Chains A and B, each alone.
Chain A
Amino acid sequence: MAVDSLAGNAAVVAGGEMVTLEVFRYRPEEETEPVYQAYEVPVHKDWVVLDALNHIKDHLDGTLSFRWSCRMGVCGSCGMMVNGDATLTCATFVESLLPGPIRVGPLENFPVVRDLIIEMNDFMEKLESVKPWIIRDEEKSLEDGAYLQTPAQLADFKQFSMCINCLLCYAACPVYGLEPSFTGPAVIALAQRYNLDSRDQGAGERNAILNTDEGIWQCTLVGECSVVCPKDVDPAAAIQRYKVSSTLQWYQKLLMPWSGK
């Protein structure tokens, strides 16, 4: 891939240190093959990679496209590959990557719409397929009050509810890269978030999607999902736990076929 450089930076801090960002560019109306474009960006002590990208957008090249919103690791929209690692660009300091160059690309394993923006429909469809909401056999009426839960019951699933759908785990998962049909880490963790919720009764419905060759059984416990996850969701553990309970169920069904389910 070609690297063309862009000179002329109006906002340079005098005498300040500069760093080169090599940014993945793909503008479907202009080029058939993506290229990396180099930009010189000033180094500020408190800048994260997202600040550097915003500096490019505001001062050097307004055509660069990328997603972001909260700037504080909550919205999950700024995930990119930085020097090959899937990371939230709002949580990765430029200073930790000096002297550069810093290579920024779109999340791996997803189709690219434009520049650093990926297409995430595959994830959204998979997420919807596991019904990530509380399912009841019978809803209580409003008069009967709320579904109560103890702190211990909350603790059972809380970790899995911290997911911000940033998709870093999908970008880091080699199995998803090889088998796009794999349900994938975050979706399984989010399904477990509801399966393990004392108020939920939908585990059986989700099982039909998850306890399959494309679901948990596609996972070979590489563990990269849990390494890159910025929220310590530990999707690998969610999948392992699911494998254990599905295996127990499998033997139960084998030994006691009359036991239902």
Chain B
Amino acid sequence: MKTTIEPFWWSLFGAGGTLAALFIPITLIINGLAIPLGWLDAPAYENVLQLARHPLARTYLFLLISLSFYHWAHRFRFTLYDGLQLKHLNLLIAVICYGGATVGTIAAGYTLINL
């Protein structure tokens, strides 16, 4: 049987979509609304840094950022492929999209490790 790699990309896409839909709104509300509008007291920089350095927080941030990138990559790949009718560039599009997500993942990992 002809094997296909699509299940792999699709699972990253699905996981990224689920995580992003659940947690990005929460993150946005806390950091983008609640704290700037004074509903919550702004935590001290050191405390936030300490929190972000916790292994669980690092893992969480890494997964959230990386999988969101792959979610974008998969969606954008099909947008170019079907939406803009660029199917002859299939391979190039895939490399750019998933490659971009991989670069983003590496950058996120590097930043989080060196936090």
- Partner-B contacts on A (CB < 8 A): 174-175, 178-179, 207-208, 211-213, 217, 220, 243, 246-247, 249-251
Contacts and interface: CB of A to CB of B under 8 A. Distances in A.
Contacts of B4: 211-213, 217
Given A178-B85, A220-B82, A251-B11, A207 B1 contact: yes
B82 A178 contact: yes
A88 B104 CA distance: 48
Interface residues of B, number: 13
Contact of B82 (A174, A207, A211, A212): A174
Contacts of B85: 178
Given A179-B87, A243-B10, 10 more contacts: A174-B82, A175-B82, A208-B2, A217-B7, A243-B7, A247-B10, A247-B11, A250-B8, A250-B11, A251-B11
> Which applies to chain A's interface (DSSP): helix, strand, loop or mixed?
helix
B2 A217 contact: no
Interface of B: 1-2, 4, 6-8, 10-11, 14, 78, 82, 85, 87
Contacts, number: 35
A246 B1 contact: no
Contacts of B7: 211, 217, 243, 246-247, 249-251
Nearest to A244: B14
A38 B8 CA distance: 52
A245 to B, nearest CB: 10
A179 B88 CA distance: 12
Nearest to A221: B78
From A175, A243, A246, A250, name the one whose CB has the most chain B CB atoms within 10 angstroms. Answer: A250
A175 B11 CA distance: 20
